[in-house]
Structure 1
Amino acid sequence: MTTVGVEPSELGEDDLFRELASLYDTRMDALRHASDQAFAEHTRRMSQLETEYLRRFPEREIDPERMRDGARAR
């Protein structure tokens, strides 16, 4: 399979964040108006970038409110 864009592992941290932000900004438009093929590519790229983010930041800060116990406490 051909890769569209730079391999996520080759992106600097700022570029990774910028790429993720761009995809999140266009997600609803892709969902509502893109062809099936374009939406699948958008999803594939988003998954690649998110996987890279998680690889780099496995100890990321987890908001307790986003966990099951936090939701129950609300």
Structure 2
Amino acid sequence: MPLGYRLPGGYPDGTEGHDEWGTTMNGVDPVRLDDQQLMKELETIHRTRHDTLLYGSNDALRAHNMRMAQLEGEYLRRNPRRPVAAGRTRQGARCRKLAES
């Protein structure tokens, strides 16, 4: 990433002085987790998300974002045909809005 780059959401790059940023990883590689461990990691990271966003340093938030993306990516890779609730789609939201009117 170029120096001064801003991550989505406006988070500063913060790599100034971190020549090796991105060369280490927090936690076990998600590929190595079994399904139960992966779900536990996902539950934990989602539970801690709000506090990290509100009170974490930019480095903590960046690490949280990266770890969440790794875990969620692995979940989606393992579950490409996961069930999707109709209410969580655009069409379902539109139907809900019409019913409320």
Q: Distance in 2 between matches of 1:33 and 1:69?
A: 36
Q: Which runs of 4+ in 1 moved over 4 A?
A: none
Q: Distance in 1 between matches of 2:56 and 2:91?
A: 37
Shift in Å, 1:2: 0.9
**CA-to-aligned-CA distance 1:18-39 (integer Å, 9 cap, x gap):** 0000001100000000100011
Q: Which runs of 5+ in 1 are unaligned?
A: none
SS in 2 for 1:3: coil
The residue number in structure 2 matching 1:29 is 51
The residue number in structure 1 matching 2:4 is none
In the TM superposition, 1:1-74 aligns within 5 A as 1-74=23-96
Task: Give the residue type in structure 2 aligned to 1:62.
Answer: V
Compare CA radii of gyration and give the structure with the larger one: 2
CA RMSD, 1 decimal:
0.5
Report the structure, 1 or 2, having the larger helix content: 1
Task: Give the residue type in structure 2 aligned to 1:20.
Answer: L
Greater alpha carbon shift after TM alignment, 1-10 vs 45-54: 1-10
Shift in Å, 1:71: 0.7
SS in 1 for 2:92: helix
The two structures have a TM-score, normalised by structure 2, of 0.72
Shift in Å, 1:54: 0.2
Q: Distance in 2 between matches of 1:51 and 1:71?
A: 25
Count of aligned residue pairs for this structure pair: 74
Q: Distance in 2 between matches of 1:17 and 1:27?
A: 15
The two structures have a TM-score, normalised by structure 1, of 0.97
